[in-house]
Amino acid sequence: MEETKMVFDVQLVEKTTHDLQEIKVTKELLENPDFRSKYVVLVNSIELLKDLQDNLKAGIKDILRSQYEETGEVSLVFEDMKFTYSPNTSKVDIDKAKLKKEFPDAYNACLKLGQTGERLTVTQAKNKEA
């Protein structure tokens, strides 16, 4: 996976979201250039965060997929988080359109083989202080 470098100002995002959190949106507010500027920062930050999350998840999935292929282990467990990889698996499905055309006895002729998608699960540990 190609390493992606992103410049992201967490403090700016925190300040912007804090500033916008309890605002009542009015036409007058929309006319305010400061509001529109903060709104653009928020929207762009959300897009950057989504891209960053996608890149991080892809990297984590690559690591877990390699681990699974080498050792058969599907999880990496840390004190505060657990990463679990679910590889592709085969499944049997019923072709409903074909089944509607055939008799119920033709059930076996209507089976088709497919695959489920691989999956990554990230679980954050519960706060021990709570």
3 within domain boundaries? no
Q: What is the pLDDT of residue 129?
A: 56
- Of 33, 54, 73, the residue at which a domain comes to its end is 73
* pTM of the model as a whole: 0.56
Q: Are residues 108 and 81 in the same domain?
A: yes
Alpha helices in the chain (DSSP H): 10-21, 27-30, 33-71, 96-101
Domain that holds residue 108: 74-125
Banded pLDDT at 114 (limits 50, 70, 90): confident
Number of domains in the chain: 2
The answer to whether 54 and 120 have CB atoms below 8 angstroms apart is no
Q: Are residues 20 and 62 in the same domain?
A: yes
On the question of pLDDT at 2 being above 60, the answer is: no
Q: Are residues 60 and 96 in the same domain?
A: no
Q: Are residues 18 and 67 in the same domain?
A: yes
CA distances from 52 to 6, 62, 74, 114 (A): 8, 15, 23, 31
Q: Are residues 20 and 64 in the same domain?
A: yes
Quote the mean pLDDT of the chain: 81
Give me the phi and psi of 15, to 5 degrees please: -65, -45
130 within domain boundaries? no
User: Which residue would you say has higher pLDDT here, 10 or 60?
Assistant: 60
Q: Are residues 47 and 84 in the same domain?
A: no
Number of Cβ within 10 Å of residue 85's Cβ equals: 21
